[in-house]
Amino acid sequence: MPRITPTLWFDTNGKDAADFYVSVFPNSGIKSVLHYGEAAPLPAGTVLTVEFSLDGQDYLALNGGPQFTFDEAISLTIDCADQEEVDYYWARLSEGGEEGPCGWLKDKYGLSWQVVPAEMKALLADPDPGRARRAMQAMMGMKKIDVAEVRAAADAAG
């Protein structure tokens, strides 16, 4: 099967973004950097693309100019093992960015992320509809997800 690599369009700061992302995620690194040549839409020598890997997943940062920007129509989801991971990724990625509802945030480059504790899936899909509803209501009132608070809400008498 062919490899699928998400490409992230930046104005001119794709290298900065890739450097930041590889500093946040373990087992990550820059694989290659390609620069614009002569007769290109940006000045020769400007970074064109950055191939990088975040814990085994390949990405391509493209410096294509200001024509396109990120929005919430696409986000990257981090399935966190526990609250400690949620806290770590939330703090690192939201710094200089913008916190959103229900575990969503935009980083300082405008890319949307969902920082989700693994337990959320089980809480939201609980076979008891009352527990699932209370978990959903609790999550909807949060920015960064606090799984202990969601669990407590789910367990509250309905």
- Residues 45-64, mean pLDDT to the nearest whole number: 97
48 and 78 in a single domain? The answer is: no
Q: Buried b / exposed e across 85-103, counting CB within 10 Å, b at 16+?
A: bbeebbebbbeebeebeeb
* Domain with 28 in it: 1-68
d(CA 92, CA 84): 12
**Structure confidence at residue 157 (pLDDT):** 75
Rounded to 10 deg, the angle between the 147-155 and 83-94 helix axes is: 130
Number of domains in the chain: 2
- Residues 61-83, mean pLDDT to the nearest whole number: 96
User: What DSSP state is assigned to residue 38?
Assistant: T
**Structure confidence at residue 76 (pLDDT):** 97
Assign residue 125 the CATH number of its domain.
3.10.180.10
